[in-house]
Chain A
């Protein structure tokens, strides 16, 4: 069916994407495919091509599911592809970095990402991301794999139960955010109204960003899944500004860990570049399909995929599943 026809039929598009991704993963993870890919000396391109296709579909579902590409990429590619987890995490960081860099300028211009809010939080996250990267490359792969599986299962729970608040009520800003001058006004494109916002619980938010940055560097998963709830539910940032600022924070936090992975030979262009390009093209299409895809169904599907890949990572790390 041509894409234009699919786009006119919202339900058909959602069903198409939802059928394609699991089928693609099943096909590429099938032993017969793996045997074929490894059999011939000329078959080097098969896995990078498979990676591009899978990342393309991950990019499509990531946007309506409201998650960054990195959190889907690492557990899925780490579980179903033959690459060592070091290279998967390195590529995952680059995927998260590239996605946030691409979105950053328009978010900043629209006032949906706030530099003043992002800078202190990004500083803490970038310091701890390096610590996470150091530990991740020092630990044995199976230990990281088990920890990754447990973290992904924790993310599944967080995604399933966390609520969102469009405009959280912040009765008064805390002294630290007052001293730093963290506040803002953004125009809501839907209502056309200017919305003033301020934040509270800044010290606790900063402490949590240290933890989030560490996990991001350790697993290469980006951190939008945790940034947004902390900014929105804890600090009281309006949801759209929280999502935009989360992306801006990732540009710095992922960057510091990426440097460490690059410096230690843990980034392979043959894995990283098809992943980045596939994810970026998929994300652009996902953004265009946002109005026709059923976001809540896609979100549930993504949570199910994360659950399966989290269990997969756990079993792989424990040596139960190869």
Chain B
């Protein structure tokens, strides 16, 4: 098979890069902003910072049980708490790939590149399933 010009794939590559850049920037700014608000007490914490050394050595499930911290997406309704507000930045960073894949799907559709379009759909299904909590047995 002869090599084709790699430039034909430049559009999707540059679009993916642009979405990755802006979504990552948004994620980092949110992560740092909410964390500063958390540790400096601007947003009150559900678990007092002084109590953390007593619970950060527990397994995750026991930590949730002892502290009563929410599982899954319940934190979204409690963004006024500093320790839960920090999850917003983490969620944005974890969701960057979803935004980027969604952004390039139209390029594949226009080019009738069905294999990569299907690959995008499957990847989105996997990432959204992981994010939704379906794989943890919650709905």
Closest to A173 in B: B1
Indicate if A318 sits at the interface (CB-CB under 8 A): no
Write out, one digit per residue, whether chain B residues 42-66 have a CB within 8 A of any chain A CB (1) or not (0).
Answer: 0000000111110011111101100
Cβ-defined contact, B130 with A130, below 8 A: yes
Interface residues of B in 6-38 (CB under 8 A from A): 6, 9, 12-14, 16-18, 20-21, 24, 27-28, 31-32, 35, 38
- Using a CB–CB cutoff of 8 Å, the interface residues on chain B facing chain A are 1, 3-6, 9, 12-14, 16-18, 20-21, 24, 27-28, 31-32, 35, 38-39, 49-53, 56-61, 63-64, 69, 71-73, 83, 86-87, 89-91, 93-98, 104, 115-116, 119-120, 122-123, 126-127, 130-131, 133, 135-136, 138
* A253 CA to B8 CA, complexed, in Å: 26
* A257 CA to B98 CA, complexed, in Å: 14
Interface on chain B toward A: helix, strand, loop, or mixed SS? Answer: helix
Indicate if A16 sits at the interface (CB-CB under 8 A): no
* A84 CA to B63 CA, complexed, in Å: 10
Q: Which stretch (A25-33, A151-159, A177-185, A221-229) binds chain B?
A: A177-185
Cβ-defined contact, B60 with A115, below 8 A: no
Cβ-defined contact, A119 with B60, below 8 A: no
Cβ-defined contact, A123 with B53, below 8 A: no
- Asked, given contacts A84-B57, A263-B131, whether A44 binds B14 with beta carbons under 8 Å apart, the answer is no
A residues near B17, Cβ cutoff 8 Å:
104-106, 108-109
Interface residues of A in 67-98 (CB under 8 A from B): 82-84, 86-87, 90, 94, 97-98
* A180 CA to B119 CA, complexed, in Å: 11
* A187 CA to B31 CA, complexed, in Å: 35
B residues near A84, Cβ cutoff 8 Å:
56-60, 63
A residues near B52, Cβ cutoff 8 Å:
44, 268, 270
Indicate if A289 sits at the interface (CB-CB under 8 A): no
Cβ-defined contact, B14 with A102, below 8 A: no
Cβ-defined contact, A256 with B60, below 8 A: no
Cβ-defined contact, B53 with A263, below 8 A: no
- Asked, given contacts A172-B1, A255-B97, whether A270 binds B56 with beta carbons under 8 Å apart, the answer is yes
* A82 CA to B54 CA, complexed, in Å: 10
B residues near A277, Cβ cutoff 8 Å:
32
A residues near B131, Cβ cutoff 8 Å:
259, 263
- Asked, given contacts A104-B24, A123-B119, A260-B130, whether A83 binds B96 with beta carbons under 8 Å apart, the answer is no
